[in-house]
Structure 1
Amino acid sequence: MLKLEDQLWIYSPSTDRTIQIAGHMLRQSVMGSDLSYEDMMDDRPLTETYEATILGKEKLDNRDVYLLELKAKVSDVAYHSSKMWVDAERFIPLKQEMHAKSGQLLKRIELRDVEKTEGRWFPKTMIYKDMLKDGEGTEYKITDIRFNAEIPEYIFSKAALKR
């Protein structure tokens, strides 16, 4: 999978083709998971796309957290609003619930097994749950991560997807 600007490309080994994911296809799930291509596409800072309000302090999994409400301030976002539980000590989200304009809960993300890696707090487990689908959700486990790694420029090309 490769994101170039606002375009998403995937390589299909079964057809030996590189295809662009666009339009309504962005709402489809990534390989049958509870995560959509659209979820993966928006990499803008939250401060550019949402207005945040602190609703209060709570406990979540024995951690003090700030409960934030985020409301879209631009129209081209996947979710109109969300609630985010942010660890009060480590300042990292532990849970997020995303809502449609109607207020309907669409998706929930739980971030677990937070560890300090290269001086940053980072969740090693992420659970995505599409609230419109049956099932337990999709769990992603990060076993190894490096930040600011030097990656050759040629890796970020459609040709490199086939390798």
Structure 2
Amino acid sequence: MRTFKILSLISCLLFISIIAHGQITANEILDRVKENMNSESTITESKMVIRGKRNTREIVSKGYAEGNEKSFTEYLSPEREKGTKMLKLEDKLWIYNPSTDRTIQLSGHMLRQSVMGSDLSYEDMMEDRELIEIYDATIIGEEKIGDRNCYILELNAKVEDASYQKRKTWVDTERFIPLKEELFAKSGQLLKRVSLSDIQKLDGRWYPTKINYKDMLMSGEGTDFIVLNIEFNPEIPDYIFNKASLKR
């Protein structure tokens, strides 16, 4: 009788383990990632380190965001970039250049241009839809990055206007933070590789404070986006997200 109870307990635990392992879906993983990475609003001080073929440049900025649809960025240094501002409202993007005192709106093919000579394009900054709205996601395996176990997700575009036809994402199985991502064209060519590191517990959530973006069509070692300070869910005055703020 005792042996039967032990065997029954082992079988029960194995069954629970199998169910628990098979329970999570690709969309649920993306939802968990969203909980860590997204918030109603943020104020971020950051440094962008652009590692080109011949030299390295650093650009410091302060950014304000509400959800994925509103953002305002002011560049603080170096002197050449100081005072440049960007405003994004849904699918519209304006840039103010203090040297010419002009504001221009970027659209169409202009959005594919590099941001300040970095490995990021304006198009990368403009995407405001949730991944599950744009892609069909599946779990295709598991792999270690460093000492972290990761789910490997494959995301295939289900809309015509997706910036990338396919994405592969490595997500930490415990902390639900993406640690690596590869972005592909319709032809299957790898366009960009993203590595996320320096994960910290901030305001009760896991968050990467260093992200390296590497445009595979450009030379150099990519662009590091380093978070110097970040506030989650602060109140941001309405005037920030207004075209008048560009010349303020």
Alignment TM-score, normalising by the size of structure 1: 0.98
Match of 2:166 among 59, 72, 81: 81
Aligned to 1:34: 119
Distance 1:157 1:61 in 2: 43
Q: How does 1:10-159 map to 2 (within 5 A)?
A: 10-159=95-244
Deviations along 1:96-131, whole A, 9 cap, x unmatched?
000001100000111110111111111100100000
Q: Which has the higher contact order (CA 8 A, sep 6+)?
A: 2
Deviations along 1:19-49, whole A, 9 cap, x unmatched?
1111111000000000000000002110111
Distance 1:122 1:19 in 2: 33
Seq. identity, % = 67
Alignment TM-score, normalising by the size of structure 2: 0.65
Unaligned runs of 5+ in 2: 1-85
Q: In the TM superposition, what is the alpha-carbon distance from 1:10 to its structure 2 partner?
A: 1.0
SS of 2:186 mapped into structure 1: coil
Counterpart amino acid of residue 57 in structure 1: E
Pick the structure with more helix per residue.
2
Counterpart amino acid of residue 176 in structure 2: F
Counterpart amino acid of residue 194 in structure 2: I
Deviations along 1:31-87, whole A, 9 cap, x unmatched?
000000000000211011111110111100210000010000111111000100001
Distance 2:144 2:232 in 1: 30
Tell me the number of residue pairs that the alignment of Structure 1 and Structure 2 aligns.
163
Distance 1:161 1:150 in 2: 20
SS of 1:18 mapped into structure 2: strand
Distance 1:14 1:80 in 2: 38
RMSD (Å), alpha carbons:
0.7
Distance 1:41 1:22 in 2: 10
Q: In the TM superposition, what is the alpha-carbon distance from 1:142 to its structure 2 partner?
A: 0.1
Larger radius of gyration: 2
Aligned to 1:7: 92
